[in-house]
Amino acid sequence: MSNAVCDALAQFPRLSRSILPTPIHRLDYLADKYGCGVYCKRDDMTGFGFGGNKTRKLDFLVAEALALGCDTLIGVGANQSNFCRMAAAYGAVDGLDVHLVLGGAKPELATGNLRLDHLLGATCHHIVDPDWRATIREGKALEMRLTDEGRKVFRMDIGGSSPVGCLGYVDAVLEIQDDEKRLGLSFDAIILTTGSGGMQAGLVAGKDACDWGCQVIGMCIAQDAEKQSSAVLSLAEAAATLIGTQVDRDSVITDDSQLGEGYAVRTEACVQAVELFARKCGVFVDYVYTGKAAAGLIAYLEDGRFGGDDNVLFLHSGGSAELFE
């Protein structure tokens, strides 16, 4: 099955800006404390443009933009969007103008990802409206304005979570299966952050296409588990259609126990997980995305959900630029 998936992916244009495969290592402190295999896959170290999960998506998305002859990229996200920073890096290197439509007032001092957006030469449009839909609407309006001016625009969905963007994480399944062979073990579960849902959707589509037994558990950071599952399922189905496979709805597992009061609102468990990962594992996770997934992993280990011969993989999807905000 993996070969068929590999062949299906090869039909799509693709860049190779990421340094892949990403490293994988045992989280000794957690593994020793809880008596099971706890590993970390370092997608925060994809290398290009400060790294993170978006490189896998943008390798496919920007290749598609170039194949369509586009000259302008539009990315939409929050002021501190990791995706927008990565889009700005791809555009800079691939000769595309980049416009970022960012939800949030223009701060006096640009920090974290926004500082990098400026360094990369992206044009930033700040939308001050607590309703997310206003930022999305402005992305579409900007696309029309730029098109009227004669630009050929490639506007990307939030977080790069279009079916094509998800292919990056279909491919990640093949990579993780190779990791398993190299390490001589099999993973029972992957724990990751799920936001716009593309990363989880790609993993689910890849898992089902390869008939892989590993559970893919998405820790919600933006909305409740029911809404998140439905968003992930539709995206996974669309990604599976692209590669000629199908998805089992039971493969979509989401957990909103770490969501707290919502997107980017810190929880005590997340703050503790950020500190524990830094101080006991030497790994930096952030307060918006990976810290909440890390808190979920720790809660599962505390509850005894994994133990003995189980191997669990924490998928570190990046975001540490936020620590410099």
Ligand X SMILES: Cc1ncc(COP(=O)(O)O)c(C=O)c1O
Binding site for ligand X (CB under 6 A): 52-53, 82-83, 159, 161, 193-200, 289-290, 317-319
CB atoms closer than 10 angstroms to residue 209: 24
CB of 3 to ligand X, least distance (A): 26
Strand pairing class (24-26; 37-42):
antiparallel
Cα separation values, 64 from 127, 155, 306, Å: 27, 11, 40
| Residue closer to ligand X (CB basis): 101 or 146 | 101
CB of 229 to ligand X, least distance (A): 12
| Residue closer to ligand X (CB basis): 44 or 146 | 44
Contact (Cβ atoms closer than 8 angstroms) between residue 176 and residue 187: yes
Rounded distance between C-alpha atoms, residue 77 and residue 95, angstroms: 21
CB of 80 to ligand X, least distance (A): 9
Which residue of this chain has its Cβ atom nearest to ligand X in the complex?
319
Rounded distance between C-alpha atoms, residue 297 and residue 191, angstroms: 7
| Residue closer to ligand X (CB basis): 37 or 319 | 319
| Residue closer to ligand X (CB basis): 194 or 245 | 194
| Residue closer to ligand X (CB basis): 53 or 55 | 53
CB of 227 to ligand X, least distance (A): 13
Q: What angle do CA 151, 81, 54 make, to 5 degrees?
A: 80
| Residue closer to ligand X (CB basis): 44 or 179 | 44
Q: List 76's β-bridge partners, or say none.
A: 101
CB of 295 to ligand X, least distance (A): 14
Rounded distance between C-alpha atoms, residue 323 and residue 259, angstroms: 19
CB of 65 to ligand X, least distance (A): 18
Q: Is 115 helix (H, G, I), strand (E, B) or coil?
A: helix
Rounded distance between C-alpha atoms, residue 231 and residue 199, angstroms: 12
CB of 165 to ligand X, least distance (A): 8
| Residue closer to ligand X (CB basis): 27 or 76 | 76
Instruction: Map tokens 């993780």 to a residue.
Output: 176
Of 120, 138, 118, the C-alpha closest to 128 is: 138
Rounded distance between C-alpha atoms, residue 252 and residue 236, angstroms: 9
Contacts of 151 (CB under 8 A, 6+ apart): 71, 72, 97
